[in-house]
Structure 1
Amino acid sequence: MNPVPSLVDDAKREAMRAALLAQGWNTADIDAAFPPAPPVSVYRMRQGVTDAVEEMRRDLPRSVKTWEPYLQVYVDGFPAMCPCPCTACAAGPCPCPGDAAGHHDTCAMPEGNRHTDCAARYTGIADLPVAEVTFSEVAEAAWWAERHGLKRTVARNAKREAKGRNLLHSDGRGAREQLIQASRWMFTWLDRKKKIDGNPALDVKLPPRQEATARSLTPEEFGEVYGVAVSTGQDPTLDGLILRHLLIQGVRRGALLDSTCEGLDVANCAIRYWDQKKKTWRWRPTTRTHLADLVTHAIVRGPRVAAPPDASEEERRHGIPALTATSPVFYAQPVDTFDENGYFVSREVRPITRKRIELLFARIRRNLPWTENVELRCHDIRHTSGRLIYKAADQQMAKLHLAHDGGTTTDHYLKDRLDELAKLKEQLFEPRRDGDQP
C-alpha cells in the first residue's frame, strides 16, 4: 500500500484509520500507511524579537540601544512590577498583599486605570506565535511600558522632593511611544520576511507628545552658565571648550562626540560633522580662534608616543603627538607614564563620552538654581546658538546654521551663503583685536 500524503490533516487521518480498523486491517499496517505528521515548527515572539534585533544591528545600529529594551518587553515582561504608580509602590517594594486582601493602606491606586489590582503583572508573550499577535497584545505591552516609565519618574521625584529639588514632569508617554515605534519597525520587518500577514502595531495610536521644554538662553544667562561651568569643575578648560563649541557650531551632542581630527579643516576654517538625523556629512564654518582651540586641545590631550633617543630634550620629556584622521577631538585629562629620568613613555587617552556632557550639565543645574527650574539641557545651547544667528541675520541663515535647510530646490541654492555664515560667526564669536572694525 502506498503511504498517504502528509498533507492529510489529523482529522482525516483519524477517520481513515477508524474505517480501516473497522474493515479488519492490521494495526501495524495502518500505522505504516498513516505515519504521524511531522511536528510543525511555530515561529514565536521570542525568536521573532531575537531575529529582529539582529537585523536592527545591521540596518539601524543607532536604534539598537533605544529600541532593543522595549522589544525585549515582549519576552521578559515586567514580572516584578505592580501597576500602581503611587509613591509607596514605586519607591520601594509594593506593600500590597497581592491577594484577595486588597491594597495596603499606603497604596493609592488611581481609579479608572487599565489595571487596578496590584497583584496584576505583565509576563510578556514570549511563547505566542508571531502570526497570532494582534492590536491588543501591542497595546497591552505599550501600557505597561508607559506605566514603568511613570513609576520611575515617581521614584525619582520622591528623592528630588526630599532634597528640595524641582520635580520631573515625565509621565511615561515617551516609553510608550518608543515601544510602539520599535514594534512597528519589527512587525514591518517580520511582514517582509513572510512571518506574518500585516502589521498589528500600525493600529496602536502614538501618545500625544508633551510640549518641548528646550529653550534658548539670553546672552546674560549663557554667561552665567559658562561662568559656573568653568569655575566649579575639575577641568575648566574642557568644560569651557565644550560650551563654546556647542554655542558657535550649534551642533547636537552626538555631532560633538563624533568629531574627529579629519574634520578640522584649518585651510578653510571649517569643521565637518556627521548629521545623525539626515545621515550625511556637513561642513560648517567656525571662527579662527575656536578652530585653533580645537586643534591645540587635540594635540595637547590626544594620543602621543615616546620620542626616539636622539630626539630633543623637550620631545623626550613630553612625547610626540600621534593623532590620526580618526582621532577624536575632545579629551579629558590624559594619563601619562614616565620613566625614572622623567622621560615620556606612554599615554592613556580618554575621549569624552555622553556621560561626560551629562555630568557637566548636571553640575551646572546643581550650582545654578534657575537652570534647575528650567531643566537646562545640552540641547538648549543649540537653541541658543540658532536664536543668536536668527537675530543677527534671518531665519534662512539660522536654518543653514542648524542644518535645517534643504528639501526644496531653492533651499539648495542657499548653500552658497556658507561664506556669509562664516563672516557672521566671526562678528558674533571672534574676540576683537586691536585694529578690528567695530
Structure 2
Amino acid sequence: MKPESPKNVSIAAVTALLRELGLSPEQLLQAAQASAASVPTFNEYVPRVTAVVSPGTRRVYDTYWRRVNERWGDRRIDEPTPLEIRQLAEDIRRTVVKRRNARGGRTAAQHLISALRCLYRHAVADRLINEADNPAARVAKPRRQPSTRRAIPAPRLAEIIEIAGSTGDDCDLDLLILRLHVETACRRGGALAVHRADLDREQCLVRLHEKGETVRWQPISPTLATALATHYEHRGGAQVQGPLLRYRDGRPITRRRYDYLWQRLGRHLPWVATQQVSTHWLRHTTLTWVERHFGYAVARAYAGHAGTGDAAATTTYIKADIEEVAEALSALTGEPHPLAATPPTSPQ
C-alpha cells in the first residue's frame, strides 16, 4: 500500500483540527479576508503617520512618502514586497534631480528606505502587520559614503566673514547667523528654532532644539548674547517672544536665507561654490578646533552628542560639563564667560 504524501497528511491533520474546533475552511477564508480589509492603503495611512512625527522627520520624509503614494497609493500597506521597495528606491536614485553636490542619488535612496521603515514601524505598533512581515526592514540601505565636509582653514573663514559683511541686502543679519554657528557649532535647524525665550543673556547661554528632539543649553560669548538680544529688540517689534533671527521687516528667517547667503558667497568666492561649502562646514570647523585644543570629551559635549552610539562604550565615563564647554568657547572667542572657571587664553 502506497504511503500518503506528507502534504496529504498535513491537510488531513489540519482538517481534523478544524473539525475539532468547530470551524470550516470557509470561515477561515472569510476571517482572512476581513483582516486584510482592515489594513489601510498608503493613501489612508501616510497622512496618519505624517500627523504624528516630529516636524524634522516630516520635512525629510514628506517628499518620499508622496512618491510612495504616487506609486502605491491605492494598495494596502501590507502588499509591497522587499523587491518592489528595492525597485522604487532604484527608480528614485536614477531620477533624482542632479545637483552639483549630488552623489549618485544614494542619499535619496537612503531616505526612501528610511521613510518606509518609519511608516512600517508605526504599522507594527498599530498591529496592522507583524514585525516579521515588515518588508522595509529586509531592504538594505545603500552604503553611506564618507562626508566631504571638513574644517575651514582660518584664512578661508575670514574670507567668508568679510564677504558676508560687505555684500548682500542685510549684512548685519548674515554676520549674526555666521557668528551664532561658529560659536555654538549648532546645525541650521537649531539656529532657526531659537526663540527669544531661549536666550539667557545674564549667563550668556542659548537653548538649542536640534535633531532627535534634543535640547541643550550652549554657552555663547557676551558679545553674541548682547547682539542677539539687541537684534530681537529692533526686529521683534512688540512681540515679547518668538523666533529670534528676523528680517528687517520683522519676519522670521527661513532656510531660504541660508540658501541665499551661501549662493552669494559662492559667487564672490569660487572655492565656496566648487567645494559646496555650507553651514554644516562651520560645525566641523568649530568642533575640530575644540577637539584639538580641549580634547574629545569637551568636543563631544560642545557638539551636543549625548548618546553612546557615536563612539566606544568609554564615552559613558568621559563626559564634559557645561563649564568646560564655556572654557573652550572663552578660548575660541577671547572673551570671558560667566560659567568659565578660568580666564580665556589662547591654546598653544
Q: TM-score normalised to the size of structure 2?
A: 0.79
Check the 8 A contact 2:186/2:303 in 1, yes or no. Answer: yes
Q: Is 1:247 paired with 2:182? A: yes
CA deviations on 1:284-330 (whole Å, 9 max, x unpaired) are 211111111111111111122xxxxxxxxxxxxxxxxx422xx2211
CA distance in 2, matches of 1:219, 1:44: 61
- Aligned residue number for residue 226 of structure 2: 292
- Aligned residue number for residue 194 of structure 2: 259
Check the 8 A contact 1:46/1:126 in 2, yes or no. Answer: no
CA distance in 2, matches of 1:218, 1:174: 28
Residue 8 to residue 424, structure 1, CA distance change in 2 (3 Å): closer
CA distance in 2, matches of 1:222, 1:184: 39
SS in 2 for 1:132: coil
Select 1:181's aligned residue among 91, 94, 114.
114
CA deviation after TM superposition for structure 1 residue 378, in Å: 0.7
Moved more, 400-409 or 246-255: 400-409
Residue 168 to residue 257, structure 1, CA distance change in 2 (3 Å): closer
Q: Which has the higher helix share?
A: 2
- Aligned residue number for residue 240 of structure 2: 323
Equivalent residue runs for 1:65-214 within 5 Å: 65-76=59-70, 124-149=71-96, 152-153=97-98, 167-197=100-130, 198-214=133-149
Q: Is 1:352 paired with 2:270? A: no
Q: Is 1:333 paired with 2:248? A: yes
CA distance in 2, matches of 1:248, 1:228: 19
Percent of counterpart pairs with the same letter?
27
Check the 8 A contact 1:53/1:68 in 2, yes or no. Answer: no
Counterpart code for 1:186: L
Check the 8 A contact 2:185/2:286 in 1, yes or no. Answer: yes
CA distance in 1, matches of 2:244, 2:187: 15
Residue 171 to residue 43, structure 1, CA distance change in 2 (3 Å): farther
CA distance in 2, matches of 1:360, 1:236: 10
CA deviation after TM superposition for structure 1 residue 42, in Å: 5.2
CA deviation after TM superposition for structure 1 residue 420, in Å: 3.1
CA distance in 1, matches of 2:147, 2:38: 39
CA distance in 2, matches of 1:361, 1:65: 21
Select 2:205's aligned residue among 270, 274, 292.
270
SS in 2 for 1:289: helix
- Aligned residue number for residue 362 of structure 1: 263
CA deviations on 1:115-150 (whole Å, 9 max, x unpaired) are xxxxxxxxx23344433321122112111111121x
CA deviation after TM superposition for structure 1 residue 43, in Å: 4.4
Task: Work out the number of aligned pairs and report it.
Answer: 310
Counterpart code for 2:121: T
- Aligned residue number for residue 91 of structure 1: none
Residue 424 to residue 194, structure 1, CA distance change in 2 (3 Å): closer
**Higher Cα radius of gyration:** 1
Counterpart code for 1:194: R
Residue 294 to residue 60, structure 1, CA distance change in 2 (3 Å): closer
Q: TM-score normalised to the size of structure 1?
A: 0.64
Residue 271 to residue 192, structure 1, CA distance change in 2 (3 Å): closer
Select 2:215's aligned residue among 278, 281, 287.
281
- Aligned residue number for residue 155 of structure 2: 220
Check the 8 A contact 2:151/2:284 in 1, yes or no. Answer: yes
- Aligned residue number for residue 18 of structure 2: none
Counterpart code for 2:218: R
Equivalent residue runs for 1:9-28 within 5 Å: 9=26
